[in-house]
Amino acid sequence: MIKKMPLIVCTIFCIFWNSSVLFAQDDLPCQTAMPFCADASQELTFPNTTGVESLGQIGCLNTSPNPAWFYIRIDQPGVLEFDIVQWVEINDNNTFERGERQLDVDFVAWGPFQTFFVNCDDLATGCDNDGDGEDLSAAQCRNNIDDEEYYIDNMDNTNIMDCSWSRNTVEENPVKTETFTIPTGQSGEYYIILLTNFANEAGIIQLQQTNLGEPDAGTTDCSILEEGLGDDIGICGNGPVIIQGRFNNAVSYQWFEFSTTSNAFLPVPVTTPFYDNARPGTYRLEGRDINGDPVGSDDIVVSNVTNSLTAVGYTIAEESFAGRYTITAIPEITVGDPEDFEYSIDGLEFQDSPVFTDVFPGDHVITGRHIAGCSEVDSEVIMILGYPQYFTPNGDGFHDTWSLINIEDQPLALIYIFDRNGKLLKQLQPGSIGWDGTYNGALMPSSEYWFRVEFNEPRDANMRRRTFAGSFSLIR
């Protein structure tokens, strides 16, 4: 089953870690990065690091003292903008307030990547302004304060996504809040972020997304805060696909694959927290701490969902001639659960919900597919009874006659048209060309006219007989 993970209300206690664990692998510090997400109720706020040796010159930073590593995963695509601020905490509420003193904080961000567990050597430490792929150096990198478009336009020609260090532009009002931008984040991408405490003074660091809720804003995936492997995965075909997980305090990992022959999990030669050659099957990830003791284990199922959707049925909440309708798609599936599928009506954008509201009368088709992007199936044509609000019998070929919408499949229906005084002007046959706006060969004036229809209700299992009356306008 593939479900959306609930948002995790994460405080300082679930994201803070001991610095000895963070730097347990001194040769691969970026691979100890911790997950971070930001929604309307969450931000990353944690005690900074002091007394830790600089990693040297990285990107636009001449020095990188007291480093702390994080990663994010993009959920909804779009622009993501963050503020990074560091201060000396007085009120112990993890909120920067008037009277609290800011400290200098700097950062470098890289991406996008397919996994959070990247080879640290793949993180560019310098820039390549001429784009020749040679002689990359930190001296070529620019501070985004000096050139806001430098990293957004990828003029550095590397996988550095953004970089900044602050300076005291005015002594009594120093600029020490950094901004970090991902201009075109795509769903599933990972970004690595290095925060440094240049001040080397104890305090609080906060990383907060500032454009949440704005048009075209992207979001981060809060499910990465959960330990383990997350939800089962559906793939279109037989793979391979990357699966990955994490456990707090784990510094080593081992993967296993379930063997139907031996009815047991057997180890595979993969000792990173991600496995990039997974195919349909069942897998297990185990994590161990610095002492070799187990800290977690989790299983995940990878399924081929190419033919997981066999049909799309539907229900309509309202009876005929309601004006607006609510249609709910009903999937017939072979693999997974209804939560694993998304839907579109009449070729519009796909949505998670199977419910479509404010649907007008007429012919409609619902398309369902697995969220992996395959097993796409159309419903039968959904024919909803209705009527036009007006018609314009002027001979231009548009709205020249008036008739009920989708009444042609009801040969026993009776349709009558009246003027405002109740005089019968026309009786229509189901499926006929409709009323042309005349009576005994004379043009009827622009006005409001009335109709009554007797028909069998298609929303009723017994097709009960109903009568409906309404009005429409003739416009000349």
pLDDT of residue 28: 54
pLDDT of residue 19: 28
How would residue 20 be classed by pLDDT, with cut points 50, 70 and 90? very low
325 and 219, same domain (yes or no): no
CA angle, 316 then 320 then 325, to 5°: 45
Token readout for 413 is 């229906």
Residues 69 and 160 in one domain: yes
Residue 1 in any domain: the answer is no
Share of the chain above pLDDT 70, in %: 91
Do 219 and 239 belong together in one domain? no
Instruction: Tell me if 68 is assigned to some domain.
Output: yes
Give pLDDT, residue 213: 87
Query: Are 343 and 214 members of one domain?
Result: no
Query: Same structural domain for residues 79 and 198?
Result: yes
CA dist 326 and 36 (Å) reads: 38
Residues whose CB falls within 8 Å of the CB of residue 466, separated by 6 or more in sequence, listed in order: 319, 320, 454, 455, 456, 457
Cα 200 from chain centre: 38
C-alpha 472/C-alpha 450 separation (Å) is 6
CA atoms within 13 A on the CB side of 6: 3
Pairing assessment for the beta strands 204-209 and 252-259 based on DSSP bridges? unpaired
Residues paired with 61 in a beta bridge: 58
Q: Which residue do the tokens 């007797």 mark?
A: 454
Q: What is the mean pLDDT of residues 393-409?
A: 93
β-strand partners of 418: 424, 450
For 320-345, the pLDDT digits (tens) are 999 999 999 999 999 888 899 999 99
- Residues 455 and 362 grouped into a single domain: no
CATH number of the domain bearing residue 175? 2.60.120.380
Question: Residue 409 domain-assigned?
Answer: yes
Residues 24 and 115 both lie in one domain: yes
Pairing mode, strands 294-304 and 233-235: parallel
On the question of pLDDT at 58 being above 70, the answer is: yes
pLDDT, one tens digit per residue, over 269-284 is: 999 999 999 999 999 9
Question: What digits encode the pLDDT tens for the residues 160-218?
Answer: 999 998 765 444 445 578 899 999 999 999 999 999 988 888 988 888 899 988 999 99
For the cut 60, the answer to whether the pLDDT of residue 7 exceeds it is: no
Note down the domain range covering 419.
390-474
Instruction: Report which secondary-structure segment, H or E, holds 22.
Output: helix 19-22
- For residue 168, what pLDDT is reported? 53
What is the domain count for the chain? 4
Do 67 and 137 fall into the same domain? yes
For the chain, give percent helix, strand, coil, nearest 5: 5, 40, 55
Per the CB < 8 A criterion, the answer to whether 314 and 343 are in contact is no
Are residue 183 and residue 97 in the same domain, yes or no?
yes
Element of type H or E holding 283: strand 281-288
Determine the pLDDT at residue 15. Answer: 31
Q: Are residues 296 and 331 in the same domain?
A: no
* Measured distance CA(440)–CA(426) in Å, rounded: 10
- Taking the model in full, what pTM does it have? 0.70
